[in-house]
Structure 1
């Protein structure tokens, strides 16, 4: 890159295939160590530094946050960052010894593009809360209706109202007939 530094208006484009040295991401999905990152890189020389921009493609693996099935998901993310010549505090990254270190820029772009709660498909029904089985694997699944105990008294009142309508007094005795 020595031939680009301090030559405003110059530009270079490159296509890179890099092996991921350490897992990118944590949690339910990540780009695994040893997989390949494809980077279309563009470096433009400005008066203040080098503007790097690019597009990263990779394959992330993990598990669905609802049903815990293994999933593969393609990662496509763009990035742009200015590497400054000076030690000005306004810039996060600097050109050092006529080189730029793109690793933190690419890592941040990829990791921040990963979903926090990945799903195998948008309408994934997840797991049955009682048995822990995948709902999509269960035949004729109907979730058990759980009544909040705070509403139980209202349920009893509703039952009492129905019984009063059926010829029973509020005390539970049969209504007298005329």
Structure 2
């Protein structure tokens, strides 16, 4: 068993959405490599920083990315395996790339309660709280504002039937 702590540069951009780990960004990899009967078991923790923009207010953000994975690299045995030991080496790049990309948020935000942009002026609502309205009315739902819900009369009948059963 061997343990290594590596700092490597991302060989290419990892991710394509609003945030990505940029090419050349530093990846910290803590890896544990163990010899097992079937092959080489690799356990790794990867730490990186994804850069991009908030999905609500479009400001630049940097998000920490932490992923872990464990994979068995099998010795060549004639049976097909997804990952195999090649010339006494294992290639971790595809595993790291897949783990980091899958850990990136689909809709990243600068903070969980980011109010976004004002739909009329395009200004950031976090910078201009006077533009925040307590109730956003979408004109597509305007007809439903006149809808009045009826009283639920079935609840009393159900309770009467329950009393009769007891």
TM-score tier, shorter chain, comes to 0.7 to 0.9
Q: Answer with 1 or 2: which has the greater Rg.
A: 1
Aligned length: 144
1:148 and 2:140 equivalent? Answer: yes
CA apart distance, 1:129:
1.6
- With over 3 angstroms needed to count, the CA separation of the structure-2 counterparts of 1:126 and 1:153, relative to structure 1, is closer
1:81 counterpart SS class? strand
CA deviation digits over 1:28-76, x for unaligned, max 9? 0011111111111111111111000111111111110010010011111
**C-alpha separation in 2, matches of 1:153 and 1:79:** 50
The correspondence for 1:45, drawn from 31, 35, 38, is: 35
- TM-score, with structure 2 as normaliser: 0.79
1:100 aligns with 2:60: no
Structure 1 ranges of 4+ moved more than 4 A: 152-155
Q: Which of the residues 88, 112, 121 maps onto 2:111?
A: 121
Residues 44 and 137 of structure 1: CA distance in aligned 2, closer, same or farther (over 3 Å): same
Q: Map Cα deviations across residues 76-129 of structure 1 (whole Å, 9 max, x no partner).
A: 11111110112423x310011111111001111111111111100000000112
Q: CA RMSD in A?
A: 2.0
Determine if the alignment matches structure 1 residue 132 to structure 2 residue 122: yes
TM-score (normalised: structure 1): 0.74
Task: State how far apart, in whole Å, the 1-side matches of 2:22 and 2:45 are.
Answer: 19
Cα distance change, pair 137–95 in 1 and its aligned pair in 2 (3 A):
same
Partner of 1:88: 79
Picking from 18, 36, 60, the partner of 1:70 is: 60
C-alpha displacement of 1:149 = 6.8
Cα distance in 1, alignment partners of residues 30 and 12 from structure 2:
20
